[in-house]
Structure 1
Amino acid sequence: MSSATSGTPLYRRSRIRHAVAAALAAAAVLITTACSGTAGQTKDGTTAFQLTDKTPDATGDVDSFTWSIFAEPASIDYAHSFDYPPNQILANVCESLLRWNPDLTTSPNLASSYTNPNPTTWVYQIRPGVRFHDGTTLTADDVVASLRRNLAPETASVWAYPFRNVKSVDRTGPLEVTVTLTQPDSTFNKYLAASPGTVESAATLAKSGQDYGNPQTGVNCTGPFSFDSWTSGQSLTLKRFDDYWNPALKAKSGQVKFVFLADATTRVNAFQSGEVDGGWMVPPNAYAQLRDTQAGTLYFGRNTTVADEVVSNLKGPLGDARVRRALLMAVDREGILKAGAGGVGEVAHSLVTDNLWKDAPDETRDAILKDLPKHPYDPAKAKALAAEAGVNGQKIVIAISPLDSQTTIITQAVSQAATAIGLKPQIESLSAEKYTTLFTDPAAREGIDLFLTFWYTSITDPLDMYGSLQTGAFSNYGGWSDPAFDAAVDKAIGAYDPVEHTAANAEAHRIATRELPWLPLYTQPVSVFLGKRITGVQPSIAYLYYPWAAEIGAKG
């Protein structure tokens, strides 16, 4: 399912995070000014970062702005867009039935309302009067054609997983679509706020065929911007769609030009010079520099990403959960944060971020977060636990594609921890292309014990992570299997009641945190830089699906 973009390794299952730093020296903890939110704290109480819910409102429109992006998309076909470059563009051009908001809530969008009359039926009322960029009107037939693409084997959609329980997608009225499931699935409707719920013109899909989403054909959707042009190797331009249906998100800029800047230093220099007006995923080694610049402002926002070491070989010494626990306890995760992430982030105690429990009942949320096995940094205890499990000089192989110092620092720290508990680590450096195949080809993982991923979710539900670790799941790269975990995930998927859903999710959460099929390292906030002439964006991981560029306008 995973693919490389412009020769860079992708560090996630199929929307794998590209590690963005160019060269990191050990960094001091940063203090970053922001508008609102909560501050992360280091052990000595120093503020490391602060989350911003919303940057200052725009005071007016701008003719255009230029945005940096670290790689050129391979395609902007929504069925093949599962990574940062294509999704941050498509979020402004194509829309889904529902909308994932920057505060991680979900609301109606192209579907003005929906009902769930029984556990296996979802009925969507399609918003009337919405126009595609070619001027044609949205109908139920367009929704049916768009959703069915994810079911068609010939499409090879990277979003097939959310549709695994879909039996049929049917037009049941001029502006009504009914989805019938084979079994209850509490996540299906949530996924329709992300790319799985994207709606494209049925006529455009039929006309474009295999060329849909490429530089020549582009796309024809309903968002606040329309596709304008794509110069391969250089840039992609969007223009404001004046007939956009939602006045609250009408674009404040006449044009957005995305420029492809693969080199991190080049991107930072472009921020400083004003050559580009902004960009997501700021290189961590530039945080201090961009905090103090007169060229603009650095912001941090909500994220659902966890940096993990994937345990990809359970036949070796890491097959024993005690060894996995010992290794995690021997990793200096605070040190990694300071040296590899500019001091901006928090040590991760599980495979999902705390904000994914946003929809859990208030009375249980705190208990869920507290009732977890902890693996604090304790090299002496870790070594003793490893010895108890029979560790005595066994070799493990840690894969890396060292495109930047952040990934190198992480890998070296994990290697040092392995040595500290009595293992003999070997770091194997892979090319970008070979590293990417670790996420797609089991044969490529032969002989590899650990590899790094930056894993984010596309819905506000831990199941987006834990469903990937069920027995036999494509993204269960180590082949880990735990019957109790599988049962808990199945129960959570089938439970629509918030209390039952949360309880089952919490059980899966406890098992995964205890057994550690992957080793959680740290979380980082979303980063975004805005030049001095623009403002209005809401910093959040939702930028991958929410029309963030529409809110950017002139800074007063």
Structure 2
Amino acid sequence: MTPTRRIARRPSVRRRVALAAAGLVGVLVLSACSPGDAEPDATAAPEWELTAQTAVPSGDIDSFTWVSYSEPYSLDYAYAFDYADNQVLANVCESLLRLNPDYTLSPGLAESFEHPTPDTWVYTIREDVTFHDGTPLTAADVVTSMSRHLDPEVGSSWFSVYQNVAAIAQTGERQVTVTMTRPDSQFNLAMGGSAGVVESAATLADTGADYGNSTGLVNCTGPFALTDWKPGESVTLTRYDDYWDDALRARAGEVEILFMTDPNARVNALKSGEVDGGWMIPPDAIAQLQGSGKGDVYFGLNTAVGSLIVSDLEGPLGDQRVRQALLMAMDREGILDAAAQGYGEVTNALTTESVWVGASEAGLDEAFDGLEEYPYDLEAAKKLIDDAGVAGEEIVIATAPLGNDFAVISQGAAAAAQAIGLKATIQTVSPSAYTALFSDPTAREGVDLFYTSWYLSSPDPLEMYGVLRTGEFSNYGGWSDSDFDALVDEAVAIDDPAQRSEVTAQAQRIANEQLPWLPLFEGPMTVFLGDRVTGVAPSVAFLYYPWAATIGSR
């Protein structure tokens, strides 16, 4: 599908890392429009405010309801690798470090850490923290929890974080030391996400294979306990009254998170007031919700880039010219308008500037200035297809009924392929089967492309490019480039973020040239808050930060 309506673009805004590093509070105004204003001009680009924090609650609240686009695949932190999983787990389980809404890191279950040698990280574990069953947190729990990522029987989705770990040991009553096989700056940065979660060792032993599912549940240290999971329906979180951090003690007694895979059902539930809020509002519903009189839509910091993952390099997309041709045949501005209603901007990079925390000006310039832009040009794209000799060959594009953006992007990619002489088939699967594309190689068999809104879980772009090294778990197409691998390995060993950014920038340029994934656009994180509730920070950090704890009565 080639969208026929083009709307004016706002000037590109370079949101440099100072936005996060300065400890932003209040609102950064990118435009003059706010939720509840008059119906926007359909011929103009949408305008919005980037909000760091919504209004402070007037008081606590007995309970509130939330809506999620999908049921979690698992609440075992070793497999929590998607939005549906982590938005629940963030309120229940905690990590050694805390990833804050501005994408800075601060102490979590580790009250401090040290880096005494290039190959060691030493964590001092807090006292007076208890699990939801009342038992105390110990250093032994930390060792057990972290060691699961190294166990091939577990098959952790976060193994890549631990790939350079030689040993994890308790080295004091409240001390855990991680020894690396080589210097690894990324390990500690990842301790604010699922890779740093701590669970009770006794619970892991007692629940066994049922850990993290609807039968075994979890037993962590967060502001809420997971008290019920009704498969196919909802999970219930209950305030943990003995939570250790007074600053994040839950304002609500209970939270019910409902699973609604139908985007229309989600939107109707929000519009009617049936549920109090939800993350990741379908872009085509933003205007409806803004005018519903039932609450407000907020826009916040994001680290996600919407991209097409090339998952089969044995077929026609194995030729770099074909990948370039397909991207040039996609009217990305038009797709942004149709898929995201223009909320965002086209990008040629696989990272947002929001994750380049501590980067130097030289690193940012190298990373983003002068990238290959791949403008919409069908004739040039057709020539690349002819040069590659693949005219008439077929590609398969997987999609799922997760929202209008998935339909638009899959159809847009198929139309672009056909316009330049390829055949294209769209394969529609269930939401759960789509999630399996990211974890099960057999699910990707026969699939050439699938869409992702890929977020980063740490404040460093190297997380993205580490994914694309040869042989990595999430290098779904098996792309390989020795120069790229060498740059990523070099950057991993650099502790200083400014110096590291200048090497990472070179890796970003290789990815921009070779297109192992096809970058489409980036945009803000969205959240809807109904009239009853307020207090959330509308940031993609909701995947690791206990967002529900801050929500109270409006």
Q: Give the TM-score of the pair, scaled to structure 2.
A: 0.89
| SS, match of residue 196 in structure 1 | helix
**Would you say 1:418 and 2:439 are equivalent positions?**
no
1:112-151 residue pairs with structure 2 within 5 A?
112-151=111-150
Distance 1:290 1:275 in 2: 13
Displacement after TM superposition at 1:409 (Å): 1.3
Range with greater deviation from structure 2 (107-116 or 64-73): 64-73
Distance 1:91 1:403 in 2: 22
Could you give the per-residue CA deviations for residues 174-219 of structure 1, whole angstroms, max 9, x where no partner exists? 1111011111111100111001111112222222222222334422
Could you give the per-residue CA deviations for residues 95-130 of structure 1, whole angstroms, max 9, x where no partner exists? 100011111111111111111111110001111222
Distance 2:163 2:60 in 1: 43
Gap change, CA 1:235 and 1:320, over 3 Å in 2: closer
Could you give the per-residue CA deviations for residues 24-46 of structure 1, whole angstroms, max 9, x where no partner exists? 99898999xx9722538999874
Distance 1:269 1:54 in 2: 25
Gap change, CA 1:422 and 1:80, over 3 Å in 2: closer
Displacement after TM superposition at 1:525 (Å): 1.8
Distance 2:173 2:143 in 1: 11
1:56-455 residue pairs with structure 2 within 5 A?
56-390=55-389, 392-430=391-429, 435-442=434-441, 444-455=443-454
Counterpart contact for 1:52–1:539, Cα < 8 Å:
yes
- Name 2:468's counterpart in structure 1: 469
Unaligned regions of 5+ residues in structure 2, if any? 11-24, 33-40
| SS, match of residue 80 in structure 1 | coil
Distance 1:72 1:88 in 2: 11
Counterpart contact for 1:398–1:426, Cα < 8 Å:
yes
Counterpart contact for 1:30–1:344, Cα < 8 Å:
no
Displacement after TM superposition at 1:452 (Å): 2.0
Give the alignment's Cα RMSD to 1 decimal: 2.7
Distance 2:261 2:375 in 1: 36
| SS, match of residue 28 in structure 2 | coil
Aligned length: 530
Displacement after TM superposition at 1:312 (Å): 2.7
Range with greater deviation from structure 2 (250-259 or 400-409): 400-409
Range with greater deviation from structure 2 (75-84 or 176-185): 75-84
| SS, match of residue 244 in structure 1 | coil
- Name 1:7's counterpart in structure 2: none
Unaligned regions of 5+ residues in structure 1, if any? 1-23
Distance 1:230 1:480 in 2: 39
Distance 1:355 1:43 in 2: 29
Amino acid at match of 2:375: P
Gap change, CA 1:82 and 1:27, over 3 Å in 2: farther
Counterpart contact for 2:222–2:240, Cα < 8 Å:
yes
- Name 1:11's counterpart in structure 2: none
Distance 1:200 1:138 in 2: 9
Counterpart contact for 1:27–1:342, Cα < 8 Å:
no
| SS, match of residue 136 in structure 1 | coil
| SS, match of residue 78 in structure 2 | helix
- Name 2:494's counterpart in structure 1: 495
Range with greater deviation from structure 2 (417-426 or 235-244): 417-426
Counterpart contact for 1:29–1:338, Cα < 8 Å:
no
Range with greater deviation from structure 2 (378-387 or 513-522): 378-387
Distance 1:65 1:431 in 2: 29
- Name 2:38's counterpart in structure 1: none
Amino acid at match of 1:99: R
Counterpart contact for 1:271–1:277, Cα < 8 Å:
yes
Displacement after TM superposition at 1:68 (Å): 1.2
Distance 2:427 2:215 in 1: 40
Amino acid at match of 1:197: G
- Name 2:546's counterpart in structure 1: 547
Could you give the per-residue CA deviations for residues 333-352 of structure 1, whole angstroms, max 9, x where no partner exists? 11111111122121121111
Gap change, CA 1:301 and 1:433, over 3 Å in 2: closer
Displacement after TM superposition at 1:159 (Å): 1.7
Gap change, CA 1:436 and 1:132, over 3 Å in 2: closer
Distance 2:407 2:522 in 1: 17
Aligned partner (choices 14, 32, 37) of residue 28 of structure 2 = 37
Distance 1:418 1:201 in 2: 51
Amino acid at match of 2:295: G
Range with greater deviation from structure 2 (371-380 or 337-346): 371-380
Distance 2:390 2:477 in 1: 20
Gap change, CA 1:115 and 1:430, over 3 Å in 2: same
- Name 2:519's counterpart in structure 1: 520
Counterpart contact for 1:81–1:87, Cα < 8 Å:
yes
Counterpart contact for 2:360–2:502, Cα < 8 Å:
no
| SS, match of residue 294 in structure 1 | coil
Gap change, CA 1:74 and 1:252, over 3 Å in 2: same
Gap change, CA 1:418 and 1:297, over 3 Å in 2: same
Could you give the per-residue CA deviations for residues 348-372 of structure 1, whole angstroms, max 9, x where no partner exists? 2111112121221245324432142
Counterpart contact for 2:262–2:402, Cα < 8 Å:
no
Range with greater deviation from structure 2 (397-406 or 300-309): 397-406
Distance 2:499 2:163 in 1: 22
| SS, match of residue 350 in structure 1 | coil
Amino acid at match of 1:334: E
The share of aligned pairs that are identical, in percent, is 53
Counterpart contact for 2:261–2:402, Cα < 8 Å:
no
Distance 2:484 2:548 in 1: 40
Could you give the per-residue CA deviations for residues 303-353 of structure 1, whole angstroms, max 9, x where no partner exists? 111121222333443333233222212211111111111221211211111
Gap change, CA 1:331 and 1:554, over 3 Å in 2: same
Gap change, CA 1:209 and 1:436, over 3 Å in 2: closer
Which portions of structure 1, spanning 4 or more consecutive aligned residues, are displaced by more than 6 angstroms?
Answer: 24-31, 40-45
Displacement after TM superposition at 1:484 (Å): 0.6
| SS, match of residue 51 in structure 1 | strand
Distance 2:295 2:8 in 1: 21
Displacement after TM superposition at 1:442 (Å): 4.5
Displacement after TM superposition at 1:513 (Å): 0.4
Distance 1:451 1:249 in 2: 38
- Name 1:14's counterpart in structure 2: none
Distance 1:299 1:330 in 2: 33
Gap change, CA 1:119 and 1:543, over 3 Å in 2: same
Distance 2:401 2:542 in 1: 27
| SS, match of residue 86 in structure 2 | helix
Could you give the per-residue CA deviations for residues 276-320 of structure 1, whole angstroms, max 9, x where no partner exists? 111112122211100112111011111111121222333443333
Distance 2:200 2:441 in 1: 37
Distance 1:438 1:269 in 2: 29
- Name 2:456's counterpart in structure 1: 457
Counterpart contact for 2:282–2:403, Cα < 8 Å:
no
Counterpart contact for 1:97–1:198, Cα < 8 Å:
yes
Range with greater deviation from structure 2 (38-47 or 63-72): 38-47
Distance 1:201 1:219 in 2: 9
Range with greater deviation from structure 2 (116-125 or 403-412): 403-412
- Name 2:18's counterpart in structure 1: none
